[in-house]
Amino acid sequence: MTDAGALVLFSGGQDSTTCLAWALQRFPHVETLGFDYGQRHRIELDCRATLRQRIAAQNSDWASRLGEDHTLTLDALGQVSETALTRDTAIAFEAGGLPNTFVPGRNLLFLTFAAALAYRRSLRHIVGGMCETDYSGYPDCRDDTIKALQVALNLGMDRRFVLHTPLMWIDKAQTWNLAQDLGGRPLVDLIVEDTHTCYLGTRGTRHAWGYGCGTCPACHLRADGFRRFAADAVPMPAGG
């Protein structure tokens, strides 16, 4: 195992794309991992190849560091989502804004599979976009959860993995700022145009902050964050 390689949980959304840029800035070799678990909407997964290609095109160092992409199929996750258990249930948001497609403990499973892959690929660093600040009630996004899992994975696999969560303590406006710091306006524009966060999987309307239904909790967070980011941003030079 080298100390240098990283594996990024990369779904094709705003957060994981920012995490990918963060990792490319830090580690000499970065691989990506996506999960296919029969998501209602495959838009995020479909964005991934485009994002990888365009993010590499923005920076020659990043291009040289970006390694393989992996996709793992986890059909069992679809089998334990509420919409799968009650087939006639429409997508709905429960108290706290959790969609009923939410799978309890999903991030625990993702990180465990990521560690198993990182073990095989001899990658030490695992990077995920979990965030406690905008934490919408997902207990498996909590910092303590991730730290406990790091201990469990290292004991259970006899490795010294380091789980990185660069977004843990920042809000959505600061996530846009982080993208700007990492890759300037081109990276912000890429995230606006080519990432997908909306729970409903709609890409019909292009808002200032990107595509989405504009009304689901994920769109609200993304839109509100972008508004606050744009309000604070130093105006770009003309043509910049």
Residues that bind Zn ion (CB under 5 A): 198, 200, 212-213, 216, 219
Around Cβ 23, how many Cβ atoms within 10 Å?
26
- The per-residue DSSP string of 25-63 comes to HH-SEEEEEEEES--S--HHHHHHHHHHHHHHHT-HHHH
Q: Give least dist CB 59 to Zn ion, A.
A: 30
- The per-residue DSSP string of 99-161 comes to BTT--TTHHHHHHHHHHHHHHHHT--EEE----SSS--S-GGGSHHHHHHHHHHHHHHHT---
Q: Give least dist CB 93 to Zn ion, A.
A: 11
| Residue 190 or 198 having the CB closest to Zn ion | 198
Is the Cα torsion angle 232, 186, 46, 162 positive or negative in sign? negative
| Residue 81 or 150 having the CB closest to Zn ion | 81
Euclidean distance between CA atoms 15 and 222, whole angstroms: 10
| Residue 8 or 200 having the CB closest to Zn ion | 200
| Residue 66 or 216 having the CB closest to Zn ion | 216
| Residue 5 or 225 having the CB closest to Zn ion | 225
| Residue 89 or 215 having the CB closest to Zn ion | 215
Q: Give least dist CB 195 to Zn ion, A.
A: 13
Q: Give least dist CB 218 to Zn ion, A.
A: 5
Q: Give least dist CB 111 to Zn ion, A.
A: 25
Cβ-contact 135, 141 below 8 angstroms: yes
End-to-end CA, the chain? 42
Euclidean distance between CA atoms 231 and 81, whole angstroms: 38
Q: Give least dist CB 66 to Zn ion, A.
A: 29
Euclidean distance between CA atoms 14 and 129, whole angstroms: 9
